[in-house]
């Protein structure tokens, strides 16, 4: 089942994260949230601290970076760009 349609707002933003803090966090991981390999590196880094919640946290970081959940399960950067442009978060 695809959950993207149910995630219509920036969940990580409600916890006080901003574009600047996300980029700063990316530097601690060694990759920007838009770079290939960020998700895997993020989960690896956060697994000890967050356990099973690490994947959700790292996905939320990428969601905020892309302003959409539609980057998920995409194979190429071109697919990601097209999909997130078509399905951005709705602004409140």
In a domain, 34, yes or no: yes
In a domain, 48, yes or no: yes
- For tokens 């980057």, name the residue: 71
In a domain, 39, yes or no: yes
User: Mean pLDDT in runs of 10 for the chain (92 residues)?
Assistant: 44 75 91 92 93 89 88 85 86 57
pLDDT of the residue at 2: 44
In a domain, 29, yes or no: yes
Start-to-end Cα distance in the chain: 26
Predicted TM-score (pTM) of the model is 0.76
Number of domains comprising the chain? 1
In a domain, 80, yes or no: yes
In a domain, 24, yes or no: yes
In a domain, 19, yes or no: yes
Q: Which domain holds residue 14?
A: 10-86
pLDDT of the residue at 91: 63
Strands (E), the chain: none
Length, in residues, of the chain:
92
- For tokens 């770079």, name the residue: 35
């Amino acid at each position: 089942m695809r959950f993207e349609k149910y995630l219509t707002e920036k969940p990580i933003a409600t916890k006080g994260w901003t574009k600047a803090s996300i980029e700063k966090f990316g530097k601690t991981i060694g990759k920007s949230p838009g770079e290939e390999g960020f998700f895997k590196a993020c989960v690896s880094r956060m697994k000890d601290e967050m356990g099973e919640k690490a994947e959700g946290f790292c996905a939320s970081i990428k969601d905020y970076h892309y302003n959409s959940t539609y980057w998920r399960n995409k194979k190429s950067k071109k697919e990601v760009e097209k999909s997130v442009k078509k399905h951005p978060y709705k602004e409140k």
